[in-house]
Amino acid sequence: MVYLFLADGFEIVEAMAPYDMLTRAGIPVTTVGVGTKMPASSSGVKVQADCTDENFVLPEDAQMVVLPGGMPGTNHLRRSPVVKAALEQVCQRELYAAAICAAPWVLDEAGLLDGKKATMYPTMHQHMEHGTYTGQPVEVDGKIITGRAAGCAVLFGLELVRQLAGAEAADKVKEMIYPNW
């Protein structure tokens, strides 16, 4: 199971493109609203989360935590004790952690990027204190997957599928969406 955290001000493409890629591959995703059941994206689109962060504890079935970027969504994720606790569980249980755009900042602050290569939105990389910024569209270092920005959200989502279900599953999803590349 993948747990996708959505906070007011999240980037819709960075959340929904990976969600779509994962579910097309048959990987279950649960959305967790941070502070609300109906978080609004940075463009004002409201999404009904599957659950809220109230009393949320990362379940035993978790394989991956995904954090979309966007502002002020990333700042809400950074300040959330529930997100921090989930990332602590990611470390303790050696799960996958994925973040895109500004959200790798949350992983960095949680210590998940220590000694790791990572990418993020180019003007945000000054916030990366522990990882090594690469600027690549998608970066994978162990169980840490990072994406540069909204324009890389489909590639990022396909990489999440590749990590959880293998190259064949990712290739099948890619064929379904008929990309131009």
Residue 181 has pLDDT above 90, yes or no: no
138-141 sheet: strands from edge to edge: 51-52, 29-34, 2-7, 64-67, 96-100, 144-147, 138-141
Q: Which residue has the tokens 């109230």?
A: 54
Confidence of residue 180 (pLDDT cuts 50, 70, 90): confident
Encoding tokens for residue 96?
A: 């996958």
pLDDT digits (tens, 9 = 90+) for 57-95: 999 999 999 999 999 999 999 999 999 999 999 999 999
Maximum Cα–Cα distance for the chain, whole Å? Answer: 43
Residue 131 has pLDDT above 90, yes or no: yes
User: What does the alpha-carbon distance between residue 52 and residue 2 come to, in Å, rounded to a whole number?
Assistant: 15
Q: Which pLDDT value is given to residue 94?
A: 97
pLDDT digits (tens, 9 = 90+) for 41-53: 999 999 999 999 9
Task: Report CA torsion sign: 25, 65, 78, 34.
Answer: positive
